[in-house]
Structure 1
Amino acid sequence: MYVDPPAPRPKGRNEEPPHSTPGALETPQRAWEFNPDYERLVVAWKTVMLQLDTLRTVLDKAYGLAKSPQTWDAPVGERYVEDIREWRTRLALYRHSVLTAISDEAADTPRWVQATANAPHAFPG
């Protein structure tokens, strides 16, 4: 069984953008916004988790029913139990790879980016 990688953190209710001290060429302080690409990763994680949990629940239920002696009264039943067990293993591998991909991408994506709207410009036009 795999342990899920760290999930991308949604923006906190009171979370503030990074503070930078203005330098010589940066008189106004930079305007920041929560990175929309990072937000998409948060949404993707939540969406994928719901779907994966639904699939796991359905497979676990089918596996429990298949193992029940009331369901199968023939040796062929063990073949179906093995098939479902393999599907559960594949789903666990798939879950791990998809969540790892999202987690790795979130680790490489900045949470805050400089905003282009309302940013001061030297030459308006």
Structure 2
Amino acid sequence: MFVDPPAPQPMQPGETPPVSSGGGLPSSDTTTSWEFNPDYQRLVMMWRQVLPELDRLAASLDKAYRLARSRDVWDAPVSGRYVEDMTEWRTRLGLYRQAILTSISDQAADTPRWIPAGAGAPHAFS
């Protein structure tokens, strides 16, 4: 069993952008306006779309696996091969889930949550 990587976190109520690192007193020249990075928000939404689908696939496969292992459903020598196949499918689905979620998580870790408004900063999908 794999542990899911950390999910990208959406903007929380009351969350504020980072403080400008311009030294000294703030002035109109050094004040930076920030916006929540829309590319980071897309990663949050992607995680929220993908996770239920992966869970649904795993639940469907687990149900079939449990039924295949039950002697009430099928008691034949060939059933062992199907159980072995389903075990392999479950392993592959776990690896697939890990790869997808790790990819999203890694991209979110490399994408800034806040960007200067109108700065044209590089983003995850550029």
Normalising by structure 2, we get a TM-score of: 0.86
1:11 equivalent in structure 2: 11
The percentage of counterpart residues that share the same residue type is 59
2:97 equivalent in structure 1: 95
- Structure 1 residue runs of 5 or longer lacking an equivalent are 118-125
Supply the distance in 1 between the matched residues of 2:38 and 2:71 (Cα, whole angstroms): 52
Equivalent residues in 2 for 1:12-31, closer than 5 Å: 12-20=12-20, 22-23=22-23, 27-28=27-28, 29-31=31-33
Structure of higher CA gyration radius: 1
Supply the distance in 1 between the matched residues of 2:102 and 2:8 (Cα, whole angstroms): 11
Residue-by-residue CA offset, 1:55-111 (whole Å, 9 max, x unaligned): 000011111111000111210111111111111000000011111111110010000
1:45 equivalent in structure 2: 47
Supply the distance in 2 between the matched residues of 1:82 and 1:22 (Cα, whole angstroms): 62
Q: How many residues align?
A: 116
Normalising by structure 1, we get a TM-score of: 0.87
User: Which 4+ residue blocks in structure 1 deviate beyond 3 angstroms?
Assistant: 21-24
- Structure 2 residue runs of 5 or longer lacking an equivalent are 120-126
Per-residue deviation at 1:8? 0.5
